[in-house]
Structures are given as C-alpha cells and as structure tokens.
Amino acid sequence: MPAAEPVGLPATAISAPDEAASDLQGAALAAPAPAAVAQPAVAAWLRLLRSEMRLMLSRRRNQAGLGVLAAIPIVMAIAVKIADPSNQHQGESFLASIVGNGFFVALAALVVEIGLFLPLAIAMLSGDAVAGEAQIGTLRGLLVVPVPRTRLLATKYVALVLGSFLGVLVVAVAGLVAGGALFGLHPVATLSGTTLALPVALWRLLLVVLYVTAFLAALSALGLFVSTLTEQPLGATVAVALISTTMWILDSIPQLGWLHPWLLVDKQVALADMLRDPIYWPTMRLGLLTDLAYVVVFLLAAWARFADKDVSG
Amino acid sequence: MTPALATAGLTKRFGAQTAVDGIDLDVPAGAVYGFLGPNGSGKTTTIRMALGLIRPTAGTVTLLGRPMPGDLGEVLPRVGALVEGPAFHPYLSGRANLERLDAADRFADPRTARRRIDAALDRVGLLHAAAKRYRAYSLGMRQRLGIAAALLMPREMLVLDEPTNGLDPQGTREVRQLIASLGAEGVTILVSSHLLSEVEQICTHLGVMRTGTLVAQGRADELRASRQATVRLATPDVAAAAGVMERMGLSDVATADQSVTAVLGDVASEDVVAALVGAGVAVRELVVNRARLEDLFIELTGEGFDAGR
Ligand SMILES: Nc1ncnc2c1ncn2[C@@H]1O[C@H](COP(=O)(O)OP(=O)(O)OP(=O)(O)O)[C@@H](O)[C@H]1O
Ligand SMILES: [Mg+2]
C-alpha cells in the first residue's frame, strides 16, 4: 500500500490534534481506496508462517515443553552414568550401548520419547492451532483480516510440522551433547556388525530425526482435524494424546496383529533400521506410506470440516 | 448509489431458535449506521454473517457491492472489523498482537507495518501501553486495541460491534469522537450498541433489532420526525390559545393552569406562533417537544429485560 498510510493522530480529547496531520489522515482514509495492492504471494505467506512460528515459540508453555523434551536424554545419560557398571544389562538395546558411546543417548532418547512425550507435544500444539484460537476468539480476527480458511489451515499445518521437526531435533541434539559429555562420541557400531565413522553416523541420526518428524507430521494432521472439531483446546489435546497412546497400546497386543498395519505407530520403532549397514528400508518405507496416508486423510477431513464451519466463538 | 452493506431475507437459525429472522439491512455508502437492539436481539449474529464468519440459513449479503461470502477475499481487505468484543493472545503485547494480524494480511506491506501499527495504536490512545502484555490490559484498553486492529489499513468500511462496551465515560466519548471523525472522512461505519444514547449523536442512520427482526430502519432524522412532536405553550390566555390551536388542526389540545399542550402533527411550529400572536394571545414560552429517539427505541424494543431468549 504505497501512499496510503494513515498518519498517527490520537483522536482523544486530551491531546490537541495537529491540523496538518489531521488533513493527511483524512485523505488517507477517505480515499476511494487506492486499489489495494496484494503483496507477492510467497512473501506474504512466509510472513504469516513466521508470525505463526513466533506465536508458537514465544509461548512459555511451549518453551517449557521443549525443555522437558531436552531433559529426557540428559536424565537418561546421567542415570546410566551413575548406575552400577556391573549392573549394566547387556543386549541389543540402544540404552545398553550408551556406556560405550554417547551417540546412543540420542537414539535411546528418541525411542523413549516417541511413545509419549513427542506425541504429547504435538497434542498440545495442535490443540492450540485451531481450537485454541477459536476459544480466545482470535480465530475470527484472523478470518476477517481476511485469511482465507484454506490458507490458514495450511499455515497452521506447516507450523505444526516445523514444530515437530524442532522438537525431535532438540531431543537428538540434547542426546548428543549429554552423551558426548558423559561418554564421548565414537564411531558407531551398526546392528549389522560394521562400524560407521562418526560423521556418517551423524547423517544417519539426521535421517532418524526426519523419519520421526514424518510420524509426528502424520499425527499433526490428525491433531489439526481434531482441533477443528471443538473450541476446547484442552479437549483436543487430550483426545490426540489418547488416540496416540491407544495406538501404542493396541500395537503392543500381538493378538491384534491384523490391526497393526493400520496403526500410525506400528512402523515407528523401525527407525533402528537406519543403523543397519546398509540402511534397511522396507519397513520404514511402509512406515512413511502410512504417515502419508494419515496426512492426506486427516488434512482433507480438517479442510472439509473447517471450510464452512461457523466461527461463533 | 450502491449500499455499502445490504442483506436480503437474511436468516440464521441455531437449532430451533431463529436468531436472525429475514432481515433486509440497508447501510448506504458513507453512512454512520447505528445498529441497535437489546442483548440477544441478533446484532452480532447478523454481523458475523455479513463478514462471512457464519453461514446464513437463508438470504443473501452484499458487502461493498460484492456477494458474501463468495467474494470474501476481495471484499474484506477493504473492511475493518471488531466482532463481539476484542480477542487477542493474552501473553503477547498489544503491539505483537497487531503485528500478528498485520502479518496475516496479504495486502499489508511489511515495510510500513511498524508505522501503521503505531498510527493505529496512537489513534486509539494506546501507544503508551503498546509493549504491555494483553492480559494486563484493562477492559477499556482491550476494547481500544480491538478498534486499533480495525484501523491497521485504510478502510472503506468499518464494522464495530459494541466498541464502547466496558469503556468509561471519557473513553466512550473518545470512541464516539473517533467514529465521528472517521465518518467525516467518508468511511462507512456500522456500529452496534444496545444503548441508543451512546451512538445517537453520531449516527446518520439507524436500524433497530428486536428478537431477530429489524423493527425500524432509516435516516436518523426521519426516524426522529416520524415521532409525533408535541407543543407546550405557556400563556395566561389559555382558552383563546386552545381555540387557535384547534382551528389550526392541532390534535389532543389540553389546557391546564397557564399552559396549553397539543400534538403538532404536520403543522409548523412557527405558523402556530404567528397565528397565536395574530389572535392576540400572549405567548410567554413555546416549546416543541420532538420525542427523543430513546422513547422510540424503548417503544420498539420493549422495556426492561424481556429481550433475552
Ligand atoms: N453459536 C450459537 N449457537 C446457538 N445460539 C446462538 C449462537 N450465537 C448466538 N446465538 C443466539 O442468537 C441470539 C442472538 O445473539 P447475538 O449474539 O446475535 O445477540 P446480540 O444482539 O449481539 O446481543 P448482545 O447485545 O448481547 O451482544 C441469542 O439468543 C443467542 O443466544
Ligand atoms: Mg453482540
């Protein structure tokens, strides 16, 4: 909007208005609207996304949540460190490998947090996304700006995915730092018996982070849909957390084997396949396909629900 | 001239309840339109439909000449709105909240954001509290921030739902002045209120809602004139004065000690004075009482707390 700046002027009785400014302002507002100029589409959308991320990250509760995510690997590393060495159980698990290599703190922490902490974080964020804004009424403010509903939903979703990535990354990095500090970082022994140089292993860890992010992105789509159903963010959060936890429970019951392929969580532990040499993809490929199916289905559902929902909060 | 906002048969039902019942709103371009009605009469519901927040059960909305919600994307950038009171993120400052809304606007130039936000805050007298968290704002400050949000961009129309809600008398006066000055600049303004006295002085047009229906609408002066004006004359010549008035066609002429009252009807008050003087009646004082709009309002909407459903 060039040339059409309302010039500041308090309309209060207290401060005497300045005549010149007043005229200018009149011109600006009365103007038979200088045909509104839309900003470049991509830049405008990025600006909205940035604002969305800032909103997410400036919230104390979310900062505390990130802190909790980061604390888990630290606690795990310390616990292993102070545990009686003779008591270390041997085995395939990442936890058992920590003593020999701090690198495994990151992996062990991801495996632990994928079951509850990370899904809980997504549940909270997706509760805020639509239901939260509906509850405090800011949703109607955005819609009358206007932000087209599809665009708003898309922005909310991308923000959730970025938030997911950040959460997983924080766990991995905190794991590396804590593990490195207490046990040192060394070349990594793969599950196939070979050894990966540390830089290669770090790339593998990044792939693990992305794989877990894909899982959370699918959960975010589900969360976004739930968030459009209610004006109670807490309700949406609890629902998403329950759904996720229930899926983990169902997945652990062997008698329900027929159901497992349909569960979002079923292929997630396959992230360990990233530490084979070469990487063993088949299970993870199925996992990614499941993620994709959940994303498509629930984004469509969210859109169908939100596109002409009455916003009367 | 095309109206800024026109609705036809606009209806909204919530389950069994009809919150808005077939109203034909007509807000002319350039008007300051007072949208009145008691609590629960359907003002906010109407405004929500006009802005595309909720779908009408029946009827159409034309905003700035374009159908809503079909052309929402083209129309709403030209409209600033405050719906159902202010709503902001409690843990962000006033300025950060406005920044967020500005960032959401495809038509807002980020390079001028700071200037426009400051101007809007300044205009509602909130610049000094811009850095304060919204949760620490008083009710009046929140209301002001809501108005500032509507002023972030130059607008052709403003829709302000109860903008004076929760403001102290001084704040109410300031908002009234702000609306009046915006109106004088040519911005069409729809301002809702359940208090006629709050908006009466600044409105060129009025619409009155009662339990979902629009019971009166039109130019404020015409609505005022539609009321029977009465005249009260103070005179020692009561009988003679009453005779003159009856002959001129005034109705309901009533005499009392030293005074006569009558309903003026179509007769001009200056003609009455001339006739009285011509007939030698001593005119001590003549008061024309155009019924206050307040009475009309109460008459239309019913008194007391019977409006809620
Ligand atoms: N989402 C909703 N679901 C059910 N009923 C609703 C909903 N929104 C509004 N109503 C009902 O519609 C009627 C009109 O409400 P509305 O908010 O439009 O009134 P209003 O004129 O704005 O009142 P006020 O002056 O109190 O703001 C009320 O009876 C209200 O209960
Ligand atoms: Mg209302």
pLDDT for A226 beyond 50: yes
Residues A225 and A230: their CA atoms lie apart, in Å, by: 10
- Beta-carbon contacts of B208 under 8 Å, excluding residues fewer than 6 positions away, are B36, B37, B214, B215, B216, B217, B297, B300, B301
Residue closest by Cα to atom 4 of ligand 1: B14
pLDDT of residue A90: 55
Nearest-10 Cα torsion for A305, A307, A313, B4: -160
Q: Output the CA B48–ligand 2 centroid distance in Å.
A: 10
Nearest to B119 among A8, A30, A142 (CB): A8
Cβ–Cβ contact A140 with B under 8 A: yes
pLDDT of residue B227: 64
Helix axes A149-183, A60-82, angle to 10 degrees: 30
Average pLDDT over residues A12-20: 35
pLDDT of residue B214: 92
Q: What is the ipTM of this complex?
A: 0.82
Ligand 1 shell residues, CB under 6 Å = A 312; B 14, 17, 19, 37, 39-45, 194, 309
Which atom of ligand 1 lies closest to the CA of B48? Answer: 18
Please state which of the ranges A15-24, A48-57, B32-41 shows the lowest mean pLDDT.
A15-24
pLDDT of residue B270: 86
Asked if B100's CB is within 8 angstroms of A51's CB, the reply is: yes
Domains defined along chain B, listed by start: 5-225 (3.40.50.300), 230-290 (3.30.70)
Position of tokens 């990354």?
A: A169
Nearest to B106 among A39, A59, A60 (CB): A39
The sign of the CA dihedral B132, B136, B140, B142 is positive
Closest residue of chain A to B86, computed from CA coordinates: A137
Question: Are the CB atoms for A126 and A160 separated by under 8 Å?
Answer: yes
pLDDT of residue B269: 83
Q: What is the mean pLDDT of chain A?
A: 86
Q: Output the CA B43–ligand 2 centroid distance in Å.
A: 6
Cβ–Cβ contact A6 with B under 8 A: yes
Residue closest by Cα to atom 6 of ligand 1: B14
- Beta-carbon contacts of B14 under 8 Å, excluding residues fewer than 6 positions away, are none
Q: Output the CA B40–ligand 1 centroid distance in Å.
A: 5
Which atom of ligand 1 lies closest to the CA of B162? Answer: 27
Q: Output the CA A54–ligand 2 centroid distance in Å.
A: 32
Cβ–Cβ contact A78 with B under 8 A: no
Q: Binning pLDDT at 50, 70 and 90, where does residue A11 land?
A: very low
Mean pLDDT in consecutive groups of 10 residues from the start of chain B, 309 residues: 91 94 94 92 95 95 94 93 94 96 94 95 94 94 94 95 88 90 93 86 91 90 74 89 89 86 82 90 85 69 50
Position of tokens 């976004």?
A: A224
pTM beyond 0.95, yes or no: no
pLDDT for A8 beyond 60: no
- The DSSP line for B271-298 is HHHHHHHHTT---SEEEEEEPPHHHHHH
* A and B: number of Cβ contacts within 8 A: 157
What are A71-91's pLDDT values in tens digits?
999 999 999 888 766 655 555
Cβ–Cβ contact A285 with B under 8 A: no
Question: Are the CB atoms for A207 and A274 separated by under 8 Å?
Answer: yes
Measured in angstroms, the CA of B67 and the nearest CA of chain A are apart by 15
pLDDT of residue B1: 67
Select the residue from A5, A12, A18, A153 to test the B interface by mutation, using most B Cβ atoms within 10 A: A12
- Give percent of chain A with pLDDT exceeding 90: 74
Question: Are the CB atoms for B216 and B296 separated by under 8 Å?
Answer: yes
Residue A194 structure tokens:
């070979």
Nearest to B91 among A60, A140, A143 (CB): A60
Cβ–Cβ contact A51 with B under 8 A: yes
Cβ–Cβ contact A9 with B under 8 A: yes
Residue closest by Cα to atom 30 of ligand 1: B40
Average pLDDT over residues A254-280: 91
- The DSSP line for B25-50 is -EE-TT-EEEEE--TTSSHHHHHHHH
Residue B161, classed as helix, strand or coil, is strand
Residue closest by Cα to atom 31 of ligand 1: B40
Residue A241 structure tokens:
């957390």
Residue A90 structure tokens:
């041997």
pLDDT of residue B133: 96
Q: Output the CA B193–ligand 1 centroid distance in Å.
A: 14
Average pLDDT over residues A248-258: 93
Average pLDDT over residues A274-303: 95
Exposure on the CB side of residue A83, measured as CA atoms within 13 A: 15
pLDDT for A16 beyond 50: no
pLDDT of residue A27: 37
Cβ–Cβ contact A37 with B under 8 A: yes
pLDDT for A36 beyond 80: no
Average pLDDT over residues A295-301: 98
Which atom of ligand 1 lies closest to the CA of B212? Answer: 14
pLDDT for A161 beyond 80: yes
Asked if A143's CB is within 8 angstroms of B87's CB, the reply is: no
Q: Which ligand number lies closest to the CA of residue B13?
A: 1
Order of strands, sheet of B79-82, starting from the edge strand that comes earlier in the sequence: B79-82, B157-161, B188-193, B32-36, B205-210, B213-219
Question: Are the CB atoms for B32 and B189 separated by under 8 Å?
Answer: yes
What end-to-end distance do the CA atoms of chain B give, in Å?
37
Neighbours of B254 (CB within 10 A): 12
What are A123-151's pLDDT values in tens digits?
999 999 999 999 999 999 999 999 999 99
